[in-house]
Homo-oligomer: A and B are copies of this chain.
């Protein structure tokens, strides 16, 4: 019946294996690798990347793909078969535009850039990273030209992470979002500042924090027989198939929010990958739809779930048992207000829900300028700092707390950041529907019961793997277009209550 498609699948299974192998090497590089291991690691990753690229873009794959397309031509757009052919075609066309040499250079440059970035951040020394970043930006510019675009070179890069959306469309969504956020931030700023000193002036034992995050991960449904948590300076989730999906977190003794919300955030990503159906394994349909949809899952668990009152009704007594000295005299309501404190700050991943997207706007603008040549790599620190002043009213005291804070550029990923805000938008759209579909949902949180939500997400989102773009998925499952209003409504309601606006 689908003999040709099967032949294509068999060929591409090897590509997936090579990509998963590279993912294991990357995980190891970030979690375990000794510093001097970067030389051979860079060779290994470059070889894996170029072999995967060779097989994927070969004439043989092209032939199998054409035959498979002919075979599935009459099938339903939503069918697994048609979707596999469609998604493979999209990626094939993308990848064949990239010369093998560029793929090799990008992989090698990235391995070295990561090590340089880590060192630069640790020692607060931007010049250590600068030449690597300059090389990576050049490669991205070259890549955009190879991939092609209609309106803006940034479109080409964005499309790699968020298929089917343009820079201009993102700009419109961000403008809408900004229009609602700016007054909200201003109104909150006029209210008395929330007291969160008990979270900042205490020491929270690292092992206990760790144990608490394991408990949270287990409860939300993360399966430790198919994953593990490790510490990493910049938390991430990575999968090597749907039965080995790993999360990382970081622990600050002086700030337990980092580990708690970091773990739940990565746990949200991991649940998505763990929910990718077995039938899609070793095909391009495995995993998450787009990075934006992925982020909708992590943010939904982090914010809509884990920053809610019902959630802490269950977990606050447990957390207090872990830290009786630090939290014994702090009420649930004080704690809940503290973890939802809105205050413009320097670090994106530690930002509150309201100001978070302002951090993204900064990166979105700087990246576009880098790609068009309007901003030189050497001028990034200054540009970064003035954008932070403009959007958030804060100025980084150093680059480690400024333009060196994120790992992304060290991976050569430009065009990635906007997907964070798109994820935020979608998380609100998805959660609004979940609340409608699942009566008593939040009562469940108060009992530590997240199974109904997870089942619902499995069915409505995870089960589709990578078949649809974000817009297709939102339209098909929730009958909505991407939009900023649901997020603004959620934030307005939540913070009106919290800050008595």
Binding site for B on A (CB under 8 A): 13-14, 17-18, 20-22, 24-25, 27-28, 32-37, 39-41, 43-44, 46-48, 51, 223-228, 230, 240-244, 281-282
Contact = CB atoms under 8 A, between A and B. Distances in A.
Contact of A243 (B37, B46, B227): B37
Contacts of A35: 225
The 6 closest A-B pairs by CB, nearest first: A40-B241, A37-B244, A17-B47, A36-B243, A36-B226, A17-B44
A482 to B, nearest CB: 33
A228 B32 contact: yes
Given A13-B47, A40-B244, 4 more contacts: A14-B47, A21-B44, A36-B243, A40-B243
Given A34-B226, A228-B34, A43 B17 contact: yes
Please state the number of chain copies in the assembly. 2
A24 B228 CA distance: 17
A39 B240 contact: no
A117 to B, nearest CB: 18
A244 B51 contact: no
Contacts of A40: 17, 20, 240-244, 281-282
Nearest to A242: B40
Contacts of A17: 40, 43-44, 46-48
Main secondary structure on A side of the interface with B: helix
A282 B243 CA distance: 32
Contacts of A230: 32
Nearest to A225: B36
Contacts of A34: 224-228, 243-244
Contacts of A223: 36
Nearest to A39: B243
A241 B44 CA distance: 10
A210 to B, nearest CB: 16
B44 A24 contact: yes
Nearest to A241: B40
A21 B37 contact: no
A248 to B, nearest CB: 12
Contact of A21 (B13, B32, B48, B225): B48
Nearest to A23: B44
A40 to B, nearest CB: 3
Contacts of A244: 33-34, 36-37, 40-41
A223 B13 CA distance: 38
A287 to B, nearest CB: 12
Contacts of A225: 34-36
